[in-house]
């Protein structure tokens, strides 16, 4: 049985996410269609780029409805996390609708550059299996221009011209706006927690 189904949605971070998972001992299967989800114990949706082409690719691969019907833990990373929400302001696209909310463009200001790129602190807001053993105000690596506002399912925030959702958890759905594969010990701990502590 596959430990992790890693969805190939065209993101440039696919290889580095796979390597980060394999370093933790995960058996990783790249998935490009619904058949690849069949035996997975957990699913990860990475992503870099724009919401509309990413959703178009998921539709073309026949993955949208299977992802909506998944009965195992699903984690979105970066753009993949944004796709878990209902809508994105980016081209006004409907996303997977697994977590309520609309992803919005970050607002530039004096001293606040968009895209948000680089290391920034995580601000834990509520308990989450993803946060186990991660110190308060640990740093993670971000690269993004859109983000989800805080909502009832935000477990960690980040401040870049205002607070946004850095990590989310709702039932079997999880997400990280940052790149765990580029976030050193913080990212490795979060991935380990997803692999070991989420209920299957």
Known catalytic residues are 78, 179, 181
3-class DSSP assignment, residue 86: strand
How far from 91 is each of 34, 88, 131, 146, 150, CA to CA, in Å? 26, 7, 32, 12, 21
How remote is the C-alpha of 124 from its chain's centroid?
16
CB 120 within 8 Å of CB 142: yes
From the list 137, 174, 169, the residue with the least C-alpha distance to 154 is: 169
Residue appearing with tokens 């609708």: 97
How far from 175 is each of 60, 84, 128, 150, 191, CA to CA, in Å? 23, 8, 11, 13, 11
Side-chain-facing half-sphere of 195: CA atoms under 13 Å: 21
């Amino acid at each position: 049985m596959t430990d992790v189904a890693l969805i190939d949605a065209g993101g440039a971070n696919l290889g580095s996410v796979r390597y980060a998972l394999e370093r933790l001992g995960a058996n990783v299967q790249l998935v490009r269609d619904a058949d690849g989800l069949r035996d997975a114990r957990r699913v990860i949706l990475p992503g870099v780029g724009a919401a509309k082409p990413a959703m178009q690719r998921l539709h073309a691969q026949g993955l949208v409805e299977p992802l909506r019907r998944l009965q195992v833990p699903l984690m979105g990373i970066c753009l993949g996390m944004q796709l878990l929400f209902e809508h994105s302001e980016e081209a006004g696209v409907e996303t997977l609708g697994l977590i309520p909310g609309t992803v919005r463009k970050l607002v530039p200001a004096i001293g606040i550059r968009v895209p948000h790129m680089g290391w920034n602190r995580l601000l834990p807001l509520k308990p989450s299996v993803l946060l186990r053993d991660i110190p308060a105000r640990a740093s993670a690596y971000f690269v993004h221009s859109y983000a989800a506002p805080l909502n009832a399912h935000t477990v960690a925030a980040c401040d870049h011209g205002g607070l946004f959702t850095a990590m989310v958890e709702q039932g079997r759905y999880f997400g990280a706006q940052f790149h765990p594969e580029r976030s050193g010990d913080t990212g490795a701990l979060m991935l380990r927690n997803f692999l070991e502590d989420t209920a299957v």
